[in-house]
Amino acid sequence: MADTACVIGEGIQIKGNLSGSGDLVICGRVEGQINLQDHLTVESTGMVVADVSTRGITISGTMSGNVDASEAVVISAQATVQGDITTNDLQIAEGASLHGRLIMDLDLPEGIL
């Protein structure tokens, strides 16, 4: 995580495309598309209706849309996620809700599959 993060506060609603470098924390609502070079955090009060491309993402709130993360996707116990996830590092806490496909490009040992 970078030293500073941009925070979209609770009660704030944004419709449109967001892109850039640096970390982003969403406590409000974002609809559109999100393209980040760093980390995205969706707090428990946050709601995202967007396709997301990012380095890593932590979801504690509600997420609807596809996620493509080059590093870890962390879904906490109170999170609700609807959409496909593309990553090679997924952590899902017990109690989390995930409705979608998981796409992982793993190097499996010979003879498996």
Rounded Cα distance, 2 and 67, in Å: 20
Residue 2 has pLDDT above 70, yes or no: no
Write down the residue that tokens 């003879």 correspond to. Answer: 111
For residue range 34-77, what is the model confidence (pLDDT) as tens digits? 999 999 999 999 999 999 999 999 999 999 999 999 999 999 99
Confidence band (pLDDT; 50, 70, 90) for 3? low
Q: For the chain, how far is it from start to end, CA to CA, in angstroms?
A: 36
Three-state SS at 79: coil
Q: Supply the pTM of this predicted model.
A: 0.90
Residue 107 has pLDDT above 80, yes or no: no
Domain residue spans of the chain: 5-96
